[in-house]
Amino acid sequence: MSALGLTAVLGGCGSTGSSDVTLRLVAADYGDSPANSSKKYWDALVKDYEAKHPGVKVEVSVYPWTDVDSKVQAMVAAGHAPDMAQVGAYADYAARGKLYSADDVLSIPVQADLVGQLADAGELRHVQYGIPFAASTRVLFYNKTLFAGAGLTPPTTWSELAADAAALKAKGVKYPYALPLGPEEAQAETMQWLLSGGSGYTDDIGTYTIDSPQNVQTFDWLRDDLVGKGLTGPVAPGHLNRADAFAAFADGKVGMLNGHPTLMQQAAKKGVKFGMVPMPGRNGRAKATMGVADWMMAFKQNGHRDQIGDFLDFVYDRKNVLDFSREYDLLPVTSSASDAMTSSAQDKALRPFLDELPLAQLYPVGNTSWAQVSADVKKQIGQAVAPGGSPSAVLGQLQATASTAESAAR
């Protein structure tokens, strides 16, 4: 799975050949069928680039999200790092000194055009190595038909969300609120709730605060006021995966859930009438929502800094960023493309997500320990809301292992 929560099933290669310089890029596939494989996007972009730069050849290998990170890891371990990789994380490679910084490869206008908080999230020790490539935010989706049948309006607070869920349950809705804390993407649902409760995984300087009082209170509320009252459906949250929750929403069986832009198309294909509102907070609109970014990074090994920089400047041209974002219902990572989307009628459906981006907080991807912490959250967080579960104990254990992992990474 990608950080954005998108599934992918395809792999392949882009252009091949020889020339003065050959750049090799490994990229993730955002498509879900041959018709919209990312391979087609990269093939077209590379063809356009090579026509204007006859001295440079670009070979692109596209892999599913289930494979792409391990492919890059294996290449680096074998001493054959690609020139560029577009994957889900960058910090480990940066910490080992294997990457060019953004300053090394991007022109000043392109760097200045990157959305501020996304660029900041690409930093390790105050130097940017991760270049945001695609972004997403989360909003609360609700089934308009089910809400109308129960005489409800979208919630703005936790208490309203619980009351709406109770009313939906009384109407026989299978999943009044779908709470996917299963191993597929539990770290995302968890972060959305931590933020809506006023805290998060870390503080402002990146120190883990997983067992903060606010976070414990958040999961106490989830356990007692949602799960404990039977408002999250027949599958225990710790066993409910995001893909299954999305599929149930598209089948008209879910009243509410947190979702990203790809759910719009999935639900529309099934004829589900849905609305989208900001995630409720404890006593009103949440102060922050969850943002997710996938990353481009440039490896030093082959020494093609100038050619990499020139190619990446082309990749981040406004037209190319817009083409990619529109193809896969993602948010652009540059201000120029974001402004174009905001003012364009064809992108109206994405505006609720664009509106959330200035308020978004991202995973602590600048912490080299985050991959391990995320994996631990996926395994354990469902226990916090299980019958008889102890949020303070589960979050305390996650905090202890996160602190140990972060200390070891320094």
Question: Rounded mean pLDDT of 335-356?
Answer: 93
Based on the domain organization, do 379 and 233 belong to the same domain? yes
Burial of 52 (0-12, 13-18, 19+ CB in 10 A): exposed
Pair (352, 380) in one structural domain:
no
* Residue 45 vs residues 49, 99, 279, 302: alpha-carbon distances, Å: 6, 24, 36, 22
- Does the residue 287 lie in any domain? no
pLDDT of residue 67: 87
What residues are paired with 208 via a beta bridge? 202
Same-domain check for residues 386 and 240: yes
Q: What is the pTM of this model?
A: 0.84
* Lowest-pLDDT range of 72-81, 102-111, 132-141, 279-288: 279-288
- The CATH number covering residue 234 comes to 3.40.190.10
Q: Which residues, in sequence order, are bridge partners of residue 331?
A: 135
Overall number of domains in the chain: 2
Range in 7-16, 116-125, 298-307, 350-359 with the lowest mean pLDDT: 7-16
Q: State how beta strands 274-277 and 139-143 pair.
A: antiparallel
d(CA 402, CA 393): 14
Do 355 and 349 touch, CB atoms closer than 8 A?
no
Residue 2 covered by a domain: no
Beta bridge partners, 277, equal 140
Instruction: For residue 188, tell me if it sits in a domain.
Output: yes
**Residue 205 banded pLDDT, cuts 50, 70, 90:** confident
Q: Is the pLDDT of residue 368 over 50?
A: yes
Residue 215 lies in a domain: yes
Regarding beta strands 123-124 and 127-128, do their DSSP bridges make them parallel or antiparallel, or are they unpaired? antiparallel
Last residue in a domain, options 344, 361, 378:
361
Q: What are phi and psi of 64, to 5 degrees?
A: -60, 155
Cβ within 8 Å of residue 136, ≥6 positions away? 4, 5, 260, 261, 291, 292, 293, 330, 331, 353
Tokens of 274: 């849905």
Q: What is the pLDDT of residue 34?
A: 81
Asked if residue 75 is part of any domain, the answer here is yes
Residues 346 and 254 in one domain: no
Domain of residue 210, residue span:
139-278+369-409
Residue 351 falls inside a structural domain? yes
401 and 256 inside one domain: yes
- Whole-angstrom Cα distance, residue 13 to residue 405? 36
* Residues 173, 64 within the same domain: no
8 A C-beta contact, residue 255 and residue 177:
yes
pLDDT at position 16 over 50: no
Q: Answer yes or no: is 259 within a domain.
A: yes
Q: Both 159 and 297 in a single domain?
A: no
**pLDDT, the chain, mean:** 92
Quickly state the pLDDT bin for 359 (edges 50, 70, 90). confident
Q: Are residues 322 and 384 both part of a single domain?
A: no
Region of residue 54 (phi > 0: left; psi between -120 and 50: alpha; otherwise: beta): alpha
pLDDT in tens, 18-34: 458 999 999 999 887 78
Q: What would the DSSP string read from start to end of 311-342?
A: HHHHHTSHHHHHHHHHHHT-B-SBHHHHHHHH
Q: Is residue 245 domain-shared with residue 376, that is, in the same domain?
A: yes
Residues 242 and 374 in one domain: yes
Report the distance separating Cα 229 and Cα 277, nearest Å: 24
Query: In the predicted model, what is the mean pLDDT of residues 4-12?
Result: 41
Tell me how far apart the alpha carbons of residues 271 and 252 are, in angstroms, rounded to a whole number. 9
Torsion over CA: 343, 327, 268, 183 (sign): negative
pLDDT tens per residue across span 239-273: 999 999 999 999 999 999 999 998 998 999 999 99
Contact 398, 380 (CB under 8 A): yes
Same domain, 395 and 332: no
Domain end marker among 323, 341, 361: 361
Asked if 234 and 373 sit in the same domain, the reply is: yes
Digit-coded pLDDT (tens) for 118-158: 999 999 989 999 999 999 999 999 999 999 999 999 999 99
- Is residue 1 domain-resident? no
